[in-house]
Amino acid sequence: MSAPFVEFRNVTRQWDGKGGVRDVSLSVPESAFVSILGPSGCGKSTLLRLLAGLERPQRGTIDINGADATHLPAARRGLSMVFQSYALFPHLSVRENIIFGMKVRRVPHAQREAKLAEALAMVGLEGLEGRKPAALSGGQRQRVALARAVVSGHPLCLMDEPLSNLDA
């Protein structure tokens, strides 16, 4: 059996001894689709934030693709994340929101355009490229965030409250 793509070993992250997660161990194989279910406040978002590098565990280790990522900054983990709030830039159009990360990484224009067209088709937003987030439904906003994650090309996409507002 191959090594897991993601592995939590005895990970703890709490605030004042409460909430968060305590002594969590979890292995996720490559290409797996995993859902973490539980009531509000049980630590689902904390697990995602730990994996993304937005929080640091107080104990335990987190491996990504066989390497210790416990103290690796979020920007160096090679992951994409769709936040519960979508984290869209309100002043940017759908198109600009989707290609933002590729522009920052200086992806060539032709490649950006090809990935944009593919992502827009995948999430059903063709024709809405010029709209700002305020002119979109909640489901459309969530699809913009999903398209932005898809075009990143990262091997892992974390989704907090996934598909909660999708309308198509």
The answer to whether residue 145 is domain-embedded is yes
SS3 state of residue 157: strand
Q: Quick one: 102 and 155 in the same domain? A: yes
Residues 24, 65, single domain; the answer is yes
Q: Report the pLDDT value the prediction gives residue 9, as an integer from 0 to 100.
A: 98
Q: Could you give the number of structural domains in the chain?
A: 2
Q: How far apart are CA 44 and CA 69, in angstroms?
A: 19
70 shares a domain with 117: no
Residues 57 and 11 in one domain: yes
114 in a domain, yes or no? yes
Amino acid 87: pLDDT: 80
My answer on whether 155 and 98 are in the same domain is yes
Among residues 27, 36, 34, 24, the alpha carbon closest in space to that of 1 is found at 27
Q: Are residues 69 and 20 in the same domain?
A: yes
Phi-psi region of 17 (alpha: psi -120 to 50; beta: other; left: phi over 0): left
The whole domain housing 15 covers: 6-74
Residues 104 and 65 in one domain: no
- At 125 the pLDDT is 96
Question: Mean pLDDT over all residues of the chain?
Answer: 90
Residue 135 included in any domain: yes
Q: Given CA atoms 162, 164, 167, 168 in this order, what sign does their dihedral have?
A: positive
For residues 52 and 112, membership in a common domain is answered with no
Stated pTM of the model: 0.76
Domain contains 87: no
- Whether 112 and 152 have beta carbons less than 8 Å apart is answered as no
Tens of each residue's pLDDT in the chain, 168 residues: 577 999 999 999 999 888 889 999 999 998 888 888 889 889 998 999 999 999 999 999 999 999 999 999 998 998 888 876 678 999 999 999 999 989 998 999 999 999 999 999 999 999 999 999 999 998 899 899 999 999 988 888 888 876 666 665
Q: Taking a C-beta distance cutoff of 8 angstroms, is the pair 148, 116 a contact?
A: no
Task: Tell me what pLDDT residue 93 has.
Answer: 97
Strand stretches in the chain, DSSP E:
6-15, 18-28, 59-64, 67-68, 79-82, 156-159
CATH number for the domain harbouring residue 40:
3.40.50.300
From 44, 74, 104, the end of a domain falls on 74
Q: Is residue 168 part of a domain?
A: no
What is the model's pLDDT at position 80?
Answer: 86
Q: Are residues 67 and 32 in the same domain?
A: yes
Q: Do residues 75 and 124 lie in contact, with contact meaning Cβ atoms separated by under 8 Å? A: no
Residue 17 lies in a domain: yes
Instruction: Tell me if 66 is assigned to some domain.
Output: yes
Between 138-151 and 109-123, two packed helices, what is the crossing angle to 10 degrees? 140
Question: d(Cα 11, Cα 61) in Å, to the nearest integer?
Answer: 6
Looking at 14, 40, 74, the residue that finishes a domain is 74
- 165 within some domain: no
113 plus 70 within the same structural domain: no
